[in-house]
Structure 1
Amino acid sequence: MSDIVLKVGNLAAAYRKNTVLENVSFEINSGSLTGIVGPNGAGKSTLMKTMLNLHPSLQGTVSFFHSSLEKMKKRIGYVPQRGSVDWDFPTDALDVVTMGLYGQVGWFKRASSAHKRKAYEALEKMGMADYANRQISQLSGGQQQRVFLARALVQEADLYFMDEPLAGVDAATERAIMKTLQELKSIGKTVLVVHHDLQTVTDYYDHVLFLNRTVIAHGKTKEVFTRNNIAKTYGGDIRWLGEENGYGLYPVK
């Protein structure tokens, strides 16, 4: 039986006085790649931030590897939404990735050549080695996302949280990111991804969590990615384009 690496119980959160998450409970097993899907405003990013103590909870519990976030931080990697990052900060791609090693280096110590080499190798893995000395503000959106993923990889975490890593990237970057995430899964890492494209869920994830303020359904993709669960999650605001060609659906704008 797979080990439970994340357990969420009765979690609730709000923005100002508006409740955006309520009674959220689920468990994630090790070595899984889970897509978190739901309509805009469903609380997907808020869920990720609340689990990581980046947004306050109203109630509920979250445990990581049967322990607390504080004790398990070094085993957890996080890639925030690209839009939440100050890309004008004056630093280059290699330094951004090296920041992912501060847990090993120490905040007030200089990164060694070995640490820099490790960061460079992570950039190389993401096809960004040629941009190591490029200012992050000069990179395209897809390149910036690759750099942030390299920063997460260099941490060598066991559990990764990714908030819409595929949003606004080109097709080549999307393929590169998903190849990397599937490689992480293949070596026993656990990955949770906030995902917006229903068309690719069955290709990308072995587990899916449907969220709309609360958990609508969660489990193996082949079992819970159904027309009924999608309709319940999106309030019926989906359009079907012919099931003979796959799921053939997309949310109505």
Structure 2
Amino acid sequence: MSKFVLEVENLSASYRKNIVLEDVNFRVKQGSLTGIVGPNGAGKSTLIQTLLQLHPSLTGKVEFFNRPFNKSKQSIGYVPQRGSVDWDFPTNALDVVVMGLYGKIGWLKLPSRAHKRLAYEVLEKMDMVKYADRQISQLSGGQKQRVFLARALVQDAEFYFMDEPLVGVDAATEKAIMEILKELKTNGKTVMVVHHDLQTVEDYFDHVLFLNKTVIEHGKTSSVFTTENISRTYGGKMKWAMEEGSHVVDTR
């Protein structure tokens, strides 16, 4: 059996006639916490959506745990971008978290008291129990992100994908989310995160995947997070400087 929990070979995808991913190849080991970084339009969100069959691929092979996605999807959790969610949908925070259990409950069955207890436990972990009955439209940006992370965590998945979970959240929420992600890694879970802030990559992730339509570099952060790879990935879309070994980056 392969030691890799995700293997991607020659993956390509497009929007209409525009190629957004081309010849993407990488492998991910169990228990890693990987930041996916690259400029706007690099295909970061499309990569996750294609891996999870939410967007069609043109070519390529994807295997999770040595199996195709449709035979391993119960082991995978996903937190989408907050902007892609209909926050006006009439439901409360507890119900959103319970939705993460529908793979185990079944769509035509009602959640049991035990299921709701699990959801409450995860909300407590995210410091959101007091908002369990609040409509999601009434939550702040950081609170919404905590609820969506709780929905993923309640699945008790082996592999988590998170699409920019730290965008638009306050410092306390960012710290809480990263503590949870690092705890997942410590417990042997595998996490891949689309991330936009290069200044925190070295503190947050043990692996980094540089993406700009194709994989520019992928590996341990201590080895591949270099000014050369940053420059190769962002090209003319960034300005960067070095101050005592730290990356100070403007990716606008």
Q: Give the TM bin, normalised by the shorter chain.
A: over 0.9
Q: TM-score, normalised by structure 2?
A: 0.98
Residue of structure 1 in register with 2:150 after alignment? 150
8 Å CA contact 1:10, 1:23 repeated in 2: yes
- Superposed displacement of residue 125, structure 1: 0.4
CA deviation string 1:142-188 (max 9, x = no partner): 10000000000000000000000001111111000000000000000
| Mapped partners of 2:240, 2:56: distance in 1 | 38
- 1:7/1:27 contact within 8 Å kept: yes
SS in 2 for 1:133: coil
State whether residues 10 and 61 of structure 2, in contact with CA within 8 Å, keep that contact through their aligned partners in structure 1. Answer: yes
Partner of 1:199: 199
1:238 positional shift: 3.1
Aligned pairs (5 A) from 1:54-93: 54-93=54-93
> In 2, distance between residues paired with 1:21 and 1:240?
25
**1:51-78 CA distances to partner (integer Å, 9 max, x unpaired)?**
0000000100100000011111110000
Gap runs ≥5 in structure 1: none
1 CA distance for matches of 2:234 and 2:176? 29
State the distance in 2 between where 1:147 and 1:2 align: 34
The DSSP-based 3-state class of the residue aligned with 2:203 is: helix
Aligned twin of 2:30 = 30
SS in 2 for 1:235: helix
- What is residue 127 of structure 1 aligned with on the other side? 127
Taking the aligned partners of 2:48 and 2:192, their CA distance within structure 1 comes to 9
Aligned twin of 2:141:
141
Partner Cα separation in structure 1 for residue 240 and residue 215 of structure 2: 23
Taking the aligned partners of 1:171 and 1:177, their CA distance within structure 2 comes to 10
Give the match for residue 246 of structure 1: 246
Structure 2: state its 5+ residue gaps.
Answer: none
Q: Does 1:215 align with 2:215?
A: yes
Check the 8 A contact 2:22/2:213 in 1, yes or no. yes
The match for 1:116 is 116
How much does 1:104 deviate? 1.0
For the residues of structure 2 that align with 1:241 and 1:17, how far apart are their CA atoms? 36
- Deviation of 1:105 (Å): 0.8
What residue in structure 1 maps to residue 97 of structure 2? 97
Question: Aligned in 2, Cα 1:75/1:208: closer, same or farther, shift over 3 Å?
Answer: same
Deviation at 1:245, TM superposition (A): 5.8
Contact 1:2 1:30 in 2 (8 A): no
| Partner-residue secondary structure (3-state), 2:169 | coil
Q: Which runs of 4+ in 1 moved over 3 A?
A: none
Distance 1:126 1:238, change over 3 A: same
Between the two proteins, the alignment pairs up a number of residues equal to 252
TM-align CA RMSD: 1.2
Query: CA-to-partner distance for each residue in 1:110-148, whole Å, 9 max, x for gaps?
Result: 100000000011111001010000000000111000000
* Cα 1:126–1:99 shift into 2, 3 Å: same
Aligned partners of 1:2 and 1:29 also within 8 Å: no
- Measured against aligned partners, the alpha-carbon deviations of 1:67-119 in whole angstroms (never above 9, x if no partner) come to 01111111000000000000100000000000000111111111000000000
TM-score (norm 1): 0.97
* Distance in 1, Cα, partners of 2:160 & 2:88: 25
1:174 equivalent to 2:142? Answer no
Q: Which residue of 1 aligns with 2:19?
A: 19
CA distance in 1, matches of 2:27, 2:88: 38
**Alpha-carbon distance in 2 for matches of 1:28, 1:118:** 29
